[in-house]
């Protein structure tokens, strides 16, 4: 190039050409030039951008190859919440949905039928025609920002075509891995001695969370977009809006149907249930939506799902194969799970070699024998399970599958309570898979978020460096760097990550302890209710069951956990290491609710949302209580609110309000 100006002109020319070729190849499935010609143009652009870094553009086609530096994912709130869909599995269920629609808005409307892609949900934001942010679904309210990873997906335009699009809009879709890519990657992983991907959906979802975007680029992911949201939509028709999106270069499926005929809907469902295997990607059903956006708004939504759309799920596929053996696996809680080892069989897009057998009762009900030919299907199109046996193929004198009476790992007698379906090994602090499982749970991303995996835990355990979670905080760099496959940098990263975890908030620390039946959402509820581990530890059974989400079974397991002296000693060690075991008092935003007491009861979509409402009560000066009395001022009732509480409130003439009423009260609606 003779000058910077010449370089700038050529760079812009190359970017425009490459974007156009990308659009034709990845969106329209048309090749305008050969792969060699395309690669030559991309190479020329890359070299010019390196030579003239002042012309850097975050949306250049060269970002498709990704970056080999690790990234940290931040969370971002969805401007428009990403709701789940209600599911139906029969035509009768759909007719009931249709009747509800017609009662609400009459008969003058159309449906749009779309394929339900089986992948990972994504929300893309475009500002002034350029991709600005990509966020995972997360909990529907907020998710992880994975923009750099999404930029490596060639079917997602970084810069839109044409004009007429809103200055800002979000478009939702599904990231998926095509069958041929899935098979190719698994073949490579087999040759390299790595574990194969379980199915295309898991492979796509896992790829999106890879911290190295250059690795994501190698996965050759694809994307279909299906829901356009903006303050100013081009049309009242959802279908027409998607056609507009297609003009702007966004990849929209051609397999859509707009109709006002129920017969057409049923034909569409039947066709795709019978022909889904002809597609180059996985679908697990059909989504049926009311087409008009104004009617969608009129129908509204529940706390977790729109009333104007429903998902029709296909029946699971079945395959017949032979049972070779049964493994009995011990989990971190001590539960023993039987897993069938099968002759490989192709089912719903993947090769199945193993399948869950659930528990002892399930094996007994099947009357399972070694060498049986069993029917396997995928629950929810994901998890393979044995659902039946072809007894006619059973060989003479076949040996019956019997559930063990002792732990297959440590030999401890297995027990089973009347309330449980599973058998448990009670050697909680001495059974190796339980110990390793607890450590893996503790370091998990939703818990203490320590940068390590199962292989690292196995190595630390086998080297006698870590025998419980508190031992992690005693690790020294010089101990770790001596281990196989630990270079200086990876050892430093592990120690830094462990140190960083000391700032993880109490609710996640509580979840990381792995108390039975206390999941992520309930940990938040308990942490916010009791404020500290000491108050939770001292809580009586009655005090526990007063907490909205806590039933008798959970209260018992929480009490049992804190009655075990080894658990208390572990907590004391973690306290000494500097972990967060309490939360600060709620910061007062305003005293609008001063002197008022509230009960929050019922379903608000998620336990997390319920906790958020309870937090708002306190932040605006109110008092959160758990039992109805004459001193209670308001009941905030969600779906399926406790009938006894509502009944008592009505007798005492206590106002029963909705979440919206409450938000109006504090000025947040």
CA distances, 585 to each of 507, 510, 529 (Å): 14, 17, 11
Of 178, 128, 122, nearest to 151 (Cα)?
Answer: 122
Q: Which residue(s) pair with 342 in the sheet?
A: 323
What percentage of the chain's residues is helix, strand, coil (to nearest 5)?
A: 40, 20, 40
CB neighbours of residue 43 within 10 Å: 11
Which among 4, 32, 51, 116 is annotated as catalytic? 116
CB 353 within 8 A of CB 377: no
Cα separation, 169 vs 127, in Å, equals 7
Instruction: Give dist(CA 535, CA 173) in Å, integer.
Output: 44
Residue 208: burial class (beta carbons within 10 Å; 0-12, 13-18, 19+): buried
Structure tokens at 657: 């309000």
- Angle of CA points 254, 150, 7, to nearest 5°: 105
Q: How far apart are CA 110 and CA 535, in angstroms?
A: 56
**DSSP H or E run through 521:** helix 520-530
Instruction: Write out the DSSP string of 353-415.
Output: EEEE--SHHHHHHHT-BTT-EEEEEEETTTEEEEEEE-GGGPPTTPPBP---SB-TTT-PBEE
* Interatomic CA distance for residues 429 and 454, integer angstroms: 18
Among the listed residues 581, 188, 237, 151, the one whose alpha carbon sits nearest the alpha carbon of residue 159: 151
- What does the alpha-carbon distance between residue 310 and residue 307 come to, in Å, rounded to a whole number? 8
CB atoms within 10 A of CB 377: 20
Q: What are phi and psi of 203, to 5 degrees?
A: -65, -40
116 catalytic per annotation? yes
Helical axes 432-443 vs 454-462, angle rounded to 10°: 130
Query: Is 581 within 8 Å of 575 (Cβ atoms)?
Result: yes
Here the tokens at position 597 are: 């007491």
Nearest to 62 by CA among 108, 18, 117, 113: 18
* 645-654 core/surface letters (b: 16 or more CB in 10 A; e: else): bbebbeeeeb
**Is the C-alpha dihedral spanning 250, 255, 260, 266 positive or negative?**
negative
Would you please indicate which residues are annotated as catalytic (active-site) residues? 116
């Amino acid at each position: 190039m003779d000058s910077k100006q010449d370089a700038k002109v050529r760079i812009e020319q190359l970017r425009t050409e490459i974007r156009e070729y990308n659009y034709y190849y990845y969106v329209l499935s048309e090749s305008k030039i050969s792969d060699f010609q395309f690669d030559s143009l991309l190479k020329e652009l890359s070299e010019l951008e390196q030579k003239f870094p002042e012309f850097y553009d975050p949306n250049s086609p060269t970002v498709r190859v990704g970056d080999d530096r690790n990234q940290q994912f931040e969370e971002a709130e969805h401007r428009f919440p990403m709701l789940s869909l209600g599911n139906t599995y029969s035509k009768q269920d759909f007719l009931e949905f249709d009747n509800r629609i017609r009662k609400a808005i009459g008969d003058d409307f159309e449906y749009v039928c779309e394929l339900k892609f089986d992948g990972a949900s994504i929300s893309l934001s475009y500002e002034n025609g350029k991709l600005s942010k990509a966020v995972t679904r997360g909990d529907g309210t907020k998710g992880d920002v994975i923009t750099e990873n999404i930029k490596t997906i060639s079917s997602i335009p970084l810069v839109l075509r044409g004009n007429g699009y809103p200055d800002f809009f979000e478009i939702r879709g599904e990231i998926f891995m095509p069958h041929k890519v899935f098979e190719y990657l698994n073949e490579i992983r087999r040759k390299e001695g790595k574990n194969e991907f379980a199915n295309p959906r898991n492979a796509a979802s896992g790829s999106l969370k890879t911290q190295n975007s250059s690795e994501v680029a190698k996965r050759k992911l694809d994307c279909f977009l299906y829901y356009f949201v903006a303050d100013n939509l081009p049309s009242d028709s959802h279908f027409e809006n998607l056609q507009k999106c297609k003009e702007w270069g966004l990849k929209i499926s051609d397999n859509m149907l707009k109709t006002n005929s129920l017969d057409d809907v049923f034909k569409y469902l039947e066709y795709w249930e019978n022909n889904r295997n002809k597609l180059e990607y996985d679908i697990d059903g059909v989504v049926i939506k009311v087409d008009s956006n104004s009617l969608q708004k009129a129908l509204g939504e529940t706390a977790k799902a729109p009333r104007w759309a429903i998902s029709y799920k296909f029946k699971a596929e079945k395959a017949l194969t032979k049972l070779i053996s049964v493994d009995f696996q011990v989990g971190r809680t001590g539960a023993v799970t039987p897993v069938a080892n099968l002759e490989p069989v192709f089912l719903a897009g993947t090769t199945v070699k193993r399948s869950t057998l659930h528990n002892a009762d399930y094996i007994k009900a099947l009357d399972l024998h070694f060498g049986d030919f069993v029917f396997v299907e995928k629950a929810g199109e994901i998890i393979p399970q044995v659902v039946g046996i072809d007894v006619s193929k059973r060989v003479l004198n076949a040996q019956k599958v019997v559930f063990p009476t002792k732990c297959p790992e440590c030999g401890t007698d297995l027990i089973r309570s009347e309330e449980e379906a599973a058998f448990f090994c009670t050697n909680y602090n001495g059974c190796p898979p339980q110990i390793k499982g607890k450590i893996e749970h503790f370091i998990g991303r939703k818990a203490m978020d320590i940068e390590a995996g199962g292989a690292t835990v196995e190595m630390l355990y086998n080297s006698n460096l870590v025998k419980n979670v508190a031992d992690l905080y005693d690790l020294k760099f010089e101990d770790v760097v001596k281990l196989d496959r630990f270079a200086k940098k990876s050892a430093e990263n592990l120690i830094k990550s462990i140190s960083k975890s000391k700032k993880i908030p109490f609710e996640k620390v509580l979840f990381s302890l792995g108390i039975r039946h206390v999941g992520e959402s309930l940990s938040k509820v308990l942490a916010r209710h009791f404020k500290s581990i000491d108050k939770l530890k001292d809580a009586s059974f009655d005090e526990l069951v007063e907490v909205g989400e806590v039933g008798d079974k959970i209260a018992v397991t929480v009490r049992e956990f804190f009655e075990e002296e080894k658990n208390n000693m572990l907590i004391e060690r973690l306290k000494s290491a500097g972990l967060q075991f309490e939360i600060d008092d709620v910061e007062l935003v305003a005293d609008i609710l001063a002197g008022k007491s509230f009960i929050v009861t019922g379903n608000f979509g998620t336990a997390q949302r319920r906790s958020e409402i309870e937090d708002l009560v306190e932040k605006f000066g109110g008092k959160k209580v758990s039992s109805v009395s004459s001193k209670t001022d308001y009941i905030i009732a969600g779906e399926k609110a406790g009938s006894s509480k509502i009944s008592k409130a009505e007798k005492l003439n206590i106002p029963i309000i909705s979440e919206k009423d409450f938000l109006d009260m504090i000025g947040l609606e």
